[in-house]
Amino acid sequence: MPQPLTVFDSHHPPSDALIADCVHCGFCLPTCPTYALWGEEMDSPRGRIYLMKLGLEGGAGATMSDEYAGHFDKCLGCMACLTACPSGVQYDKLIEATRAQVERHYRRPLSDRLFRTVLFTLFPYPRRLRAASLPLWIYQHSGLQRLARRSGLINLLPPRLRSMEALTPRVTMDAFRAKMPQLIPAQGERRGRVGLLLGCVQQVFFRHVNDASARVLSAEGFDVVIPPGQDCCGALPVHAGREREAQDFARRTIDVFERAEVDTVVINAAGCGSTMKEYGHLLRDDPVYATRAAAFSGKCRDISEILAGVTPRAPRHPLPLRVAYHDACHLQHAQRIKLQPRQVLATVPGLEVVEVPEAAICCGSAGIYNLVEPEPAQELGERKARHIASTNPQAVVSSNPGCLLQIRAAMEKLGTPLPTYHMIELLDASIRNTPLPR
Ligand code: SF4
Ligand code: SF4
């Protein structure tokens, strides 16, 4: 007889069978950032899996309380436990299912609900984000920001808003520039036809990364199709347990790229890539999209996978720079991509890539984690910044915009500010023989 569900409803609770895969060995503990911070078993992967089991089976302590939900909210979803686990426990599936249950059954405090509503009404929608960029541009460029920071007024804000202020990228005119062309033809003999995901936050605040991606792919022989009508891919809501929203965004993304008839969908943000490669799972119950979603996921590649998979064609010019390479968690753990970005960077003459100690541990960015959980995120950011500074680099490189923002803010706070670049910006600068922006 199945046990009654006491905490979770019957819509895809965390799987009993996946929970049973955990043999409690504890090998995952040293790579878990929250366990590293607090040494608390219930804030480790093993402890969280135990809490999921408790939620399934019922019994003492199995209620959707602040404390119960808090242990899951504190999880960064960094998936370091996924790569560390020798038993192959699929923590990604477990936490995704659990977050959706928490989202449905946990009543958050009013301020938390309001804050999350603002984030999810704004971030996944590029048009709204672009509109919000104008007051932000005025704040940053009029001297108001400098005044607020120097006078200490900023410290009067609640921690979440303070964190948001510190992490917001500098808005440039790029945010308001015309849309990218729908097709950027391949240079030389054509190697393939790829579709470029623009991302929601990325297309407003990191337009230069998308421009660089399109230029490099074209220079390396790919027709680059940029389908219009792209919104969020669903990564932001899926990581917050907002399952329906995530599914709607996934369906829309599939529609948009199916119309573009591309061989491959190229992604330059680690969090988006890891979500899109799992659309098959996200839409598994949808009779119209399940098969299409699985096929779509099979076409998704991180930009480093595409570039490392072909012989470099465009000549590279020297870029004499010592850079610390930061592995984004959703690339190294969720997608298990570590080698390819290094292979791509190795094609740039003069570029010295140094490894960062404790590379498996998250920088604290983790989607919206650094906004909703600012204290632990800041601690992790400072820990990462110290490790980066110890390698004495001239710049920091990563493949995820969120990590770049988090690291930039942490390096500034540490008093060792450094320029931060997406991997593709370095390759683009080398191919075009242009200086890197500061
Ligand atoms: S996803 Fe990251 S923070 Fe969450 S339990 Fe695993 S290692 Fe810890
Ligand atoms: S999740 Fe894996 S590594 Fe961690 S305790 Fe369970 S079996 Fe061991």
pLDDT tens readout for residues 26-47: 999 999 999 999 999 999 999 9
Whether residue 352 is predicted with pLDDT greater than 80 in this model: the reply is yes
Alpha-carbon torsion (365, 367, 368, 369), positive or negative: negative
The predicted model gives 103-113 an average pLDDT of: 95
How sure is the predictor about 60, in pLDDT bands with cuts at 50, 70 and 90?
low
Interval between CA 161 and ligand 1 midpoint (Å): 25
Query: Which of 34, 83, 330 for a ligand 1 pocket mutation test, highest count of atoms within 8 Å of Cβ?
Result: 34
For residue 25, what pLDDT is reported? 97
272 and 400 Cβ atoms separated by less than 8 Å: no
The total number of residues shown for the chain amounts to 438
* Residue 47, ligand 2, Cβ within 6 A: no
Q: Which residue has the tokens 């804000």?
A: 157
Count of CB atoms within 10 A of residue 299's CB?
Answer: 17
What residue type is 214 in one-letter code?
A: A
For residue 4, what pLDDT is reported? 47
Atom of ligand 2 nearest to the CA of 25: 8
DSSP-assigned letters across all residues of 162-206: HHHHHHSPPP-GGGGSPPPPSEEPPSSS--EEEEE---HHHHHH-
The predicted model gives 210-222 an average pLDDT of: 98
Token output for 196:
């470029």
Atom of ligand 2 nearest to the CA of 88: 2
Instruction: Summarize pLDDT for 408-433 with one digit per residue, the tens.
Output: 999 999 999 999 999 999 999 999 99
Interval between CA 376 and ligand 1 midpoint (Å): 13
The predicted model gives 53-79 an average pLDDT of: 90
* Residue 45, ligand 1, Cβ within 6 A: yes
CA distance 140 to 144: 6
Query: Which of 15, 81, 333 for a ligand 2 pocket mutation test, highest count of atoms within 8 Å of Cβ?
Result: 81
* Residue 81, ligand 2, Cβ within 6 A: yes
Q: What is the DSSP letter of 89?
A: -
Residue 420, exposed/middle/buried by CB under 10 A (0-12, 13-18, 19+)? Answer: buried
How sure is the predictor about 61, in pLDDT bands with cuts at 50, 70 and 90?
low
**Nearest alpha carbon, ligand 1 atom 5:** 45
Q: Name the residue among 412, 365, 355, 415 with its Cα closest to residue 388.
A: 355
* Residue 27, ligand 2, Cβ within 6 A: yes
CA distance 51 to 19: 10
* Residue 376, ligand 1, Cβ within 6 A: no
**Nearest alpha carbon, ligand 1 atom 4:** 75
* Residue 20, ligand 2, Cβ within 6 A: no
Tell me, rounded to whole angstroms, the distance of Cα 379 from its chain centroid: 19
Mapped onto helix, strand or coil, the DSSP state of residue 60 is: coil
**Nearest alpha carbon, ligand 1 atom 6:** 81
The predicted model gives 264-280 an average pLDDT of: 97
How sure is the predictor about 156, in pLDDT bands with cuts at 50, 70 and 90?
confident
* Residue 91, ligand 1, Cβ within 6 A: yes
Instruction: Summarize pLDDT for 356-401 with one digit per residue, the tens.
Output: 999 999 999 999 999 999 999 999 999 999 999 999 999 999 999 9
Atom of ligand 1 nearest to the CA of 31: 7
Q: Name the residue among 323, 404, 412 with its Cα closest to residue 364.
A: 404
**Nearest alpha carbon, ligand 1 atom 7:** 32
Atom of ligand 2 nearest to the CA of 21: 7
* Residue 47, ligand 1, Cβ within 6 A: no
